[in-house]
Chain A
């Protein structure tokens, strides 16, 4: 008798458990479908053509379409294949090395040739001839390097301009989404920051820092060529200005965006939570349902905002990685060539290579700083207004 009752009780409990699971699952599926439909509808109403065109233009591959990429991100189907990314980075690096190799071989060839001529000639008699020869060698090496530096300089300049365009394209979309989901304080904090990044920071980099880098490079080159006139102190002076400008820009931007971003996100979070609490408690019957309905609309907006943010980060990575790798390749090869030349040839030639590689370091810093600024800003925008659901 007791056993039958126990069995009945177990079966009853199991039934309740199955029913509970079923209803719970049913509930979640309904919410997931509703959310998915809501996201689709919201995406149809959002103007993403500018970002889509920019994405397709810069990724430059038929394999990835912007909307397909966004949908795969939203559905959680997109996964990062680190092997492919690593292979791509390695391939880009190696292609850069192979492309630059003739340049560095010719530089090393000229330097070695000069070293051989210098060593076999009679020093006392051929001192002035050697000086002329060194001048010609240096001039030809610098001419070869100068074309490369100029192309790298133009490349960095274009990437910075593209980052400004990307900031101007993505910010209205993300700001609109933030405004829609109720992150008013965050919008008030980010709108001037976005304008300052796309205007002020980019202007400073393009009109002040990049020309100063060019000038430092020129002074270094001229000091190497000229026997009597030295401009190393001028180069150091401009390098100091570059360092100060970069440092101050990072400090001002980082300081204000982090303080404003964090405080505004907290302010928005508290005000929205207070509104939600008021809704749930003021109407006991429908308050909970209403909260859920709002949650779905707001969750859709948040998911779209974050997905667009992630796609912009991906775009930024793709835009920056190639020029960064070519700058790195060029700098490493230049230092390697200087190391090879040093024992064989005139130290002036290896010094010229090292001083030019310093210029490349400044170009890399500018690119990294501008990229990092956009990266931090998008990251803060992604993380703000997330605590609303």
Chain B
């Protein structure tokens, strides 16, 4: 490209100098026409070369956008810990105090959180209700199932 532009400029200056030097007459007109023709050939050089070369289009897409996965991990963990907190809160509303909720999850390529398992540790908890323990746990399980939109089998109570 640079060479092409340079050759056009040099040819133009050269032809101007020649047209200034040449005395007026028939021969000068012929020389000027030849110079003009040469200049047109120089200008059309890339078009002539186009048939020989392959046309290469530059890459239309730049570098791929690389997501900061460490931040996403942190953000998802924070969101899940918030859910764990509120699950424990929910359990206490059903009379199960001091429970430890652990949500096991993974994310897909679109950062959608997929909950795999919910483990509820009742080792240090006490159940305060006038109803049977099994009945309370079943109700709490149902509430967590609705809240997290998971299947009942995914919720596990253990001591």
Contact = CB atoms under 8 A, between A and B. Distances in A.
A228 B32 contact: yes
Interface string B54-75: 0000111111111110111011
Contacts of B64: 195
Given A135-B20, A184-B110, A222 B60 contact: no
Contacts of A294: 79, 82
Interface stretch (A53-61, A240-248, A255-263, A280-288): A280-288
A188 B112 CA distance: 13
A179 B111 contact: yes
Contact of B43 (A177, A226, A234): A234
Contact of B71 (A46, A131, A198, A290): A46
B68 A176 contact: yes
Contacts of B19: 226-228
Contacts of B149: 278
Given A173-B68, A184-B112, A294-B79, A227 B20 contact: yes
Chain B residues touching A, majority SS? helix
Given A198-B63, A199-B62, A285-B90, A176 B71 contact: yes
Interface string A189-217: 00110111111101110010001001100
B121 interface: no
B60 A203 contact: yes
A218 interface: yes
A65 B19 CA distance: 61
Interface stretch (B1-9, B122-130, B131-139): B1-9
A24 interface: no
Contacts of B76: 180
A191 B65 CA distance: 7
A222 B9 contact: yes
B16 interface: yes
Chain A CB within 10 Å, residue with most, of B62, B72, B76, B85:
B62
30 contacts: A42-B71, A42-B74, A45-B71, A45-B75, A46-B68, A132-B20, A164-B62, A172-B67, A173-B68, A180-B72, A184-B110, A192-B61, A194-B65, A196-B62, A199-B59, A199-B61, A200-B59, A218-B9, A219-B8, A222-B12, A225-B16, A227-B19, A228-B15, A228-B16, A229-B12, A279-B147, A286-B93, A289-B89, A290-B86, A294-B82
Given A42-B71, A229-B16, A283-B147, 4 more contacts: A168-B63, A227-B16, A231-B43, A297-B82
Interface of A: 41-42, 45-47, 128, 131-132, 135, 139, 164, 167-168, 171-173, 175-177, 179-180, 184, 187-188, 191-192, 194-200, 202-204, 207, 211, 214-215, 218-219, 221-222, 225-229, 231, 234, 278-279, 282-283, 285-286, 289-290, 293-294, 297, 301
Interface of B: 1, 5, 8-9, 12-13, 15-17, 19-20, 32, 35-36, 39, 43, 58-68, 70-72, 74-76, 78-79, 82-83, 85-86, 89-90, 93, 110-112, 143, 146-147, 149
